[in-house]
Chains A and B, each alone.
Chain A
Amino acid sequence: MTSSKQALAQPATSADAAPGNQPGAARGAQGRGTPPPGGSSWRSRLYRWDMKASPYAFISPFFIVFGAFSLVPLLYTAWYSLHNVQLADLDKQTWVGLDNYQNLLSSDFFWNSLWVTFVIGVISTVPQLMMAIGIAHLLNYKLRGSTVWRVVMLTPYATSVAAATLVFVLLYSWDGGMINWLLDFIGIDPVNWRESDWGSKFAVSTIVIWRWTGYNALIYLAAMQAIPSDLYESAALDGAGRWQQFRHVTIPMLRPTILFTVVVSTIGATQLFGEPLLFGGVSGSKGGSAHQFQTLGLYMYDQGWIVGNLGKASAIAWSMFLILLIIAVINLVVTRRLRKAQ
């Protein structure tokens, strides 16, 4: 943030510092930062204004779109969450204060969905990132047709959630699904993946892992290739084997990237929605008959659009937002600690 702010401020200050005394023709050749044409003070003022305002104008589309489609709904949702709003009667909004939040705190379904989100988040993110590092490490060796491998890694990410989940639903089908068929070979009784408490969480996690491992692997790979080779050389001179090089050179150098992927994956896990919804099939927003894979996202959808209680759904949305803020703070503290430790 700070660095980008400085970058933004720079052209403006340099324009302030250099009032114009050069012919306008030089402008095109010398580019930005060149003093404005002299003579007319109107032109110079226009030029100065241009220097100050243009950067903001250039970044404004993002902020306008963000404001219209994210910030306004965000604030509106906060307003909704303090009211009783029903989907069938949107115009009648009665103030209820913090009732919706109190309602959530006393609802088993809310705590359940929080737990489910946490569990699925952990069992999908941890193996996913560990596998991604491993795969990136392998891809970093000289391989024949390395581009092909890399593209293959990305294909799950390029598949739509709906298509991927439908295939997984068939694989995990209780009666005649391929996974139960394979389990049968090693003598394990068929598992009712969708209705079992842990089986369903596991199944949903595998869809997430399948989709995102390749993506993270490519990010790690890009970071690995930026590690200077002399570090490895000197490590090798000191007698470090491949595993030691990986542990003591690669991993420490990847630390910022790992933190980045952890943050992104955590946000993704908190908002997990499409996979469990489609995995659940008909009335999938319940997340199974005992809500065994109803994530926070699904619970919000179920309350808002199926039950029609938009006030409560808004309260869930804000709770999710607060949870993300807490995670962000924890992340910040951890990063600081790590940096100090270094």
Chain B
Amino acid sequence: MRTSTRRSRRLVALTAVAALATGLLAGCAEDSDDGSSSDGGGDSSGKTTITVGTFGEFGYKQSGLYDEYMKLHPDIAIKENVTTRTDVYWPKTLTRLQAGSGTDDIQAIEVGNITEAVQTQADKFVDLGKDVDKSQWLDWKTAQATTKDGKTIGLGTDVGPMAVCYRKDLFKKAGLETDRAKLAELWKGDWAKYVDLGKEYMKKAPKGTKYVDSASSVYNAVAGGFSERYYDKGGNVVWDKSEGVKKSWDVAMEVATSDMSAKLKQFDKPWEQAYAKGSFATVACPAWMIGYIQQKAGESGNGKWDVAAAPTASNWGGSFIGVPTASKHQKEAIALAKWLTAPEQQAKVFAKQASFPSTPSVYSTLKPQDDTTAYFSGAPLTQIFSDSAKTSPMQYLGVKDQPIGTSITDVGILQVEQKGKTPDQGWEAATKEIKDVLGQ
């Protein structure tokens, strides 16, 4: 039973080494996620280094744009700092902008944060609206990044025009229409019709499948088609009385209280796995979802997915890039930002990873990769998404757009969908949450 003290001393040493090793490992793991420093400046070879800070992959590196630009401008080196999580990226960027140091030379801004940036950080960004042909972007895109006195703090990158992606094979088994044009015609004009089709689907649903991934995705798709959601044109908070929210909520409740939803939470691991398992037959499909499906569903979904026009033109997501005034290489950064968001370059990113351009002039020439087209049964992706992009309404956004939206989807809708609360209880919970967010 006894062991010598030497043993116990060795044990203590072992513990200490393990503790130290943990510290080091943890340190490494966290670094890779962050690590964006941008004192920039000329490096040893006399080049000017421009840093680009993004959340997630913007595809600039993947589609070879950086290499191309560096070839065109031999005196420029480009370094990309990617932060994986948006909810980490934005607070960090906000504090750095205000500190006036530590920002990258080009900083990406998500559409959910653009109004906050326009209303509170406009003086921290360079005006990019000068010497640039603003007509090359969709009107509403540039308008979202422009202050009341006409300063454009960000140039549009991608947009998220809406479609519906569906599993042709599952539709067939459930005895539903499978032709994309006829389906689009069937639900045209109203997402409630899309939900009605779900009831049809569930009557003969193939075993282990549901009609849609989640009620929240339907909510976001419907809400993206309204100008007025949480704020009105004048910037007043109207979430509790706006028609957009009411309509979207009602449609989402229809889904949440029925059996047609796979009750997943978007962007969660189980949600990603469900693509591979084929657990649901349709998903609200902004352009950026195309790449997601291909990646997560993998080979098993090849040729089974198809894309149809959404009931209403709508936009979900998209981004901007801006140049902070704290940048030490403003001139070079502005030039790069303009180049990256120019129509030709946006078309190249689209060709690589289907991020849909915010510049309509290239819509007629856009061509997705052949294997992407084949994956989605030869659907005319460009046609469907550009129609939606051109006709989707200008959304009035507000400072707290993102947290309000999250309160509705991840508190209100989730409680009804997963905790079995009634729609009224869900709405009450969302209301309480939003009031907390707004500090009321």
Contact = CB atoms under 8 A, between A and B. Distances in A.
A182 interface: no
A87 B410 contact: no
Interface string A145-164: 01100110010011011110
Interface stretch (B126-134, B151-159, B178-186, B273-281): B273-281
Contact of A289 (B14, B91, B262, B415): B415
B1 A88 contact: no
24 contacts: A87-B94, A89-B98, A151-B18, A154-B15, A158-B22, A160-B25, A160-B26, A163-B29, A169-B268, A174-B418, A176-B270, A194-B418, A222-B12, A225-B2, A225-B3, A225-B5, A225-B7, A226-B5, A282-B268, A285-B87, A286-B411, A289-B418, A290-B419, A308-B91
Nearest to B119: A88
A29 interface: no
Contacts of B12: 222
A129 B432 CA distance: 38
Given A175-B270, A286-B410, A226 B95 contact: no
B87 A305 contact: yes
Contacts of A304: 91
Interface residues of B, number: 54
Given A140-B1, A158-B22, A150 B94 contact: no
A221 B8 CA distance: 8
Contact of B429 (A90, A147, A162, A290): A290
A40 interface: no
Contacts of A305: 87, 91
B22 A282 contact: no
Nearest to A242: B1
A19 B160 CA distance: 82
A141 interface: yes
A303 B395 CA distance: 26
Contacts, number: 134
A192 interface: yes
Contacts of A219: 15
B360 interface: no
A232 B2 CA distance: 10
Contact of B14 (A140, A151, A157, A160): A151
Given A87-B95, A150-B11, 6 more contacts: A90-B98, A158-B21, A166-B269, A192-B419, A282-B265, A305-B91
Nearest to A228: B2
Interface string B46-70: 0000000000000000000000000
Contacts of B267: 281-282
A171 B400 CA distance: 35
Nearest to A87: B94
Interface string B391-430: 0000000011001001000111011001100000000010
* Closest A-B pairs by Cβ, 6 of them: A289-B414, A225-B8, A88-B120, A305-B91, A195-B418, A281-B268
Nearest to A288: B414
B410 A282 contact: yes
A107 B15 contact: no
Contact of A173 (B3, B21, B270, B400): B270
Nearest to A218: B15
A91 interface: yes
A340 interface: no
A28 to B, nearest CB: 29
Interface in A61-101: 87-91
A229 interface: yes
B401 to A, nearest CB: 12
A59 to B, nearest CB: 20
A309 interface: yes
A232 B21 contact: no
Nearest to B432: A108
B116 interface: yes
A188 to B, nearest CB: 18
A177 B274 CA distance: 12
B410 A283 contact: yes
A115 interface: no
Contacts of B381: none
Nearest to B21: A158
Given A90-B98, A91-B98, A307-B437, A176 B273 contact: yes
B92 to A, nearest CB: 9
Interface string A195-231: 1100000000000000000000011011001100100
A146 B5 CA distance: 15
A151 B18 CA distance: 9
B384 to A, nearest CB: 27
A322 interface: no
A151 B13 CA distance: 12
A219 B29 CA distance: 26
Contacts of A158: 18, 21-22, 25
Interface in A89-133: 89-91, 107-109
A87 B87 CA distance: 13
Contacts of A232: 1
Interface in B105-124: 116, 120-121
B436 interface: yes
Given A89-B120, A282-B267, A306 B29 contact: no
